[in-house]
């Protein structure tokens, strides 16, 4: 199943980053990429670097398993885990792309503190504040179940940790500054990654 995990990872990367970047550039004249925020060595910068590293680790995990460098964890290397993982991964791809579409031209990777964007609160953003990350969590959970090895499992846990820090340390402070009371009211009403969880 590691082959399936690798193929789905490549599809996810091509769709969620490649195609979406092209769409953003075609519609707005900019790719939406702002790179890593903060001064080198700062916590904000380290979180950004960590996010890049963990995405590489998640992609490397099935490659290392296919190359025989790591072996799947026997307890998890079972069809009863892997087949639901496949469905979850596909749902994660669909959810991520849907949330990116719902964000429209406000979609960005990274934060430019001098830039002014629209606060999207409708559609799926009316249920959770960060549905793109929710989709990424879902996809990563599915891929980890498909190819559960000693790189993939800690990589998934690290992904959750790094995205939590990215949202709390980088993105939410920017949104509170940029949108003020509107964002504070939004955060009080809508959960961070799951409906009704992480409000405030």
The reported pLDDT for the residue numbered 23 is: 85
Note whether 57 and 155 are within 8 A (CB): yes
Q: What is the pLDDT of residue 192?
A: 97
The confidence score (pLDDT) of residue 24 equals 85
| pLDDT on residue 168 | 93
How remote is the C-alpha of 140 from its chain's centroid?
9
Can you say whether the dihedral through the CA atoms of 13, 20, 173, 92 is positive or negative?
negative
- Would you state the pLDDT for residue 150? 97
Residues 6+ apart with CB under 8 A from 181: none
Can you tell me the distance from the alpha carbon of 97 to that of 99, in angstroms, rounded to the nearest whole number? 5
pLDDT of residue 118: 87
Block means of pLDDT (10 residues each) for the chain, 200 residues, are: 94 92 85 77 85 90 96 95 97 96 84 81 95 97 97 95 92 92 96 92
Domain ranges of the chain: 2-9+37-189
pLDDT for residue 200: 77
Nearest CA among 150, 135, 141, 170 for reference residue 50: 170
Q: pTM of the entire structure?
A: 0.91
């Amino acid at each position: 199943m590691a082959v399936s995990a690798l193929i789905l990872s490549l599809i996810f990367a091509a769709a969620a980053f490649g195609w979406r970047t092209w769409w953003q550039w075609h519609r707005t004249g900019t790719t939406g990429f702002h790179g890593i925020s903060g001064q080198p060595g700062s916590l904000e910068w380290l979180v950004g670097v960590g996010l890049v590293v963990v995405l590489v680790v998640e992609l490397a995990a099935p490659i290392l398993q296919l190359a025989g460098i790591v072996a799947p964890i026997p307890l998890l290397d079972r069809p009863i885990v892997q087949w639901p993982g496949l469905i979850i991964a596909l749902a994660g791809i669909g959810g991520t792309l849907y949330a990116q579409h719902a964000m429209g031209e406000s979609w960005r990777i990274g934060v430019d503190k001098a830039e002014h964007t629209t606060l999207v609160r409708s559609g799926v953003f009316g249920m959770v504040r960060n549905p793109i990350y929710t989709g990424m969590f879902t996809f990563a959970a599915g891929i980890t179940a498909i190819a559960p090895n000693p790189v993939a499992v800690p990589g998934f846990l690290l992904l959750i940790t790094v995205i939590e820090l990215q949202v709390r340390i980088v993105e939410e402070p920017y949104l509170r500054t940029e949108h003020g009371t509107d964002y504070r009211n939004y955060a009080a009403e809508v959960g961070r990654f799951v409906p009704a969880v992480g409000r405030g």
